[in-house]
Chains A and B, each alone.
Chain A
Amino acid sequence: MKTRSLVTIADTSKEKIMYLLEMAHEFEKNTNRKILDGKVVATLFFEPSTRTRLSFETAANRLGARVIGFADPKITSGTKGETLKDTIMMVSNYADIICMRHYLEGAARYASEIAPIPIVNAGDGANQHPSQTLLDLYTIYQTQGTLENLNIYMVGDLKYGRTVHSLLMAMRHFNPFFHFIAPDELKMPEEYKEYCEQQGIKYKEHKEFNAEIIKDADILYMTRVQKERFTDLMEYERVKDVYILKKEMLKDTKDNMKILHPLPRVNEIAYDVDEDPKAYYFQQAKNGLYARQAIICDCLGLTIDDVKNDPTILK
């Protein structure tokens, strides 16, 4: 059955990305509405993710929808052996749209093929997390005024970090220059470097992370270096403090430069960076609300005109 699901942003066209960003901007201007009055949004979190779930639920609540769902898979029938298909079919009877997080890769794709209502992928294992990518794109656009011709520096875990992979693929339309800064263990996988070459995306790899290297950055996209990713713990001890952003590293950076991070952070951004106007990760998280409002409305068939000429805006 053909519905307007959002499973991945990797194959989304440039026009569609810009359209969703424009819609998100409308929600930033007027966040509280009743445009989804009478709708029921289900948030099914087969894997806990407080941050993403709260963001989706807030997005739905601020548009007047009602929210059902579960935050903890332990309380669902999945533990009794129910298949994903049965859960999705059951919830499809109750809700108008499903936002789902699942620990298995491809779960949202499969759900979108069997469900009679739209599915929004809120993360499927290590695979895709399109609402995160859209909020990253929105934040870049918001802070730089464009997505075109930017120097984007990605730092930390570039091997397992799905947010950097999705962002890389979504940026292919906009002629970016990527700089990948990571230890050997966590460097950008070959398949993504091949992808860059196929798409004509310029990139450079670095092992060092210092003020000199990042001075041309427009966007500094930090990620968490996770201890559990390392097979050699001595190697972890050696690199864990190398990829930390410190306040003094910012002094020669460009004025328009902004620091992003998908959060949660551990120690990779020193806390005194938070006061710097270039630190933008909390605003970035806030943008998740607008991006998710746009995603939910688009999947429910509402257009940019519906959103612009919305008579239900609460002042």
Chain B
Amino acid sequence: MKKELQVAALENGTVIDHIPSNKLFDVVNLLHLQKMTTPVTIGYNLESQKMGCKGIIKVADKFFNPEEMSRLSVIAKNMQLIIIKNYEVVEKINVDIPDQLKGIVRCSNPKCICNNEPMSTHFHVTDKVRGIIKCHYCEKEQVLEKVQLI
């Protein structure tokens, strides 16, 4: 049986694939896609052999910079960015957690200075596999999945 494409193909732009369904709208918010003026296609609860259920986002005429990609890495592991130019896949990038996160997530320690001063947060990623980050200021270790995005 022929498998149908559930979302239309893209001429130029970026496909964000393998988004866990429950994280889809976090990705939308994080990348401020609601403010985009070019066409954005959002697929939600699509079938996936690997994940069971996934989200996919296609953004026309948009190529993300490394800072935006590191923001993405905070939401979920194993997401993939597919760069499309002239209907062809030119690059596939696995979103990887950077060594440091600055101004992306909030410290969960209410007694941390970064929650009490007008300043940027700063974390060191201490365990990429388990997603453990350590606040540069209060030195508390935190689990990436549970931290709040700024």
Contact = CB atoms under 8 A, between A and B. Distances in A.
A58 interface: no
A12 to B, nearest CB: 14
A85, A106, A125, A191 pick with most chain B CB within 10 angstroms: A106
B3 interface: no
Interface in A73-130: 83-85, 102-107, 109-110, 124-128
Contacts of B7: none
B16 interface: no
A84 B141 contact: no
Contacts of B136: 106, 109
B119 interface: yes
A126 B137 contact: no
B51 interface: no
Given A83-B118, A106-B114, A191 B141 contact: yes
Contacts of B109: 105
Contacts of B140: 105
A85 B119 CA distance: 9
B118 A104 contact: no
A127 B138 CA distance: 6
Contacts of A125: 111, 138
A125 B141 CA distance: 16
A85 B138 CA distance: 16
Interface residues of A, number: 18
Interface in A197-212: none
A54 to B, nearest CB: 25
Given A84-B113, A125-B111, A126-B111, A106 B118 contact: no
Nearest to B115: A104
Contacts of A83: 117-118
A110 B141 CA distance: 18
Nearest to A191: B141
Contacts of B119: 85, 110
B135 interface: yes
A8 B135 CA distance: 14
A102 B113 CA distance: 9
Contacts of B113: 84, 102, 104-107, 109-110, 124
B132 to A, nearest CB: 11
B116 interface: yes
Nearest to B135: A106
B145 interface: no
B137 A84 contact: no
A133 B114 CA distance: 25
A128 B137 CA distance: 11
A276 to B, nearest CB: 37
A8 B138 CA distance: 11
Given A106-B113, A109-B136, 18 more contacts: A84-B117, A85-B117, A102-B113, A103-B111, A104-B111, A104-B113, A105-B111, A106-B112, A106-B114, A106-B136, A107-B137, A109-B137, A110-B117, A110-B119, A124-B113, A126-B111, A127-B138, A128-B139
Closest 10 interchain pairs by CB?
A106-B137, A105-B138, A106-B113, A106-B138, A107-B113, A104-B113, A110-B113, A109-B137, A105-B112, A105-B111
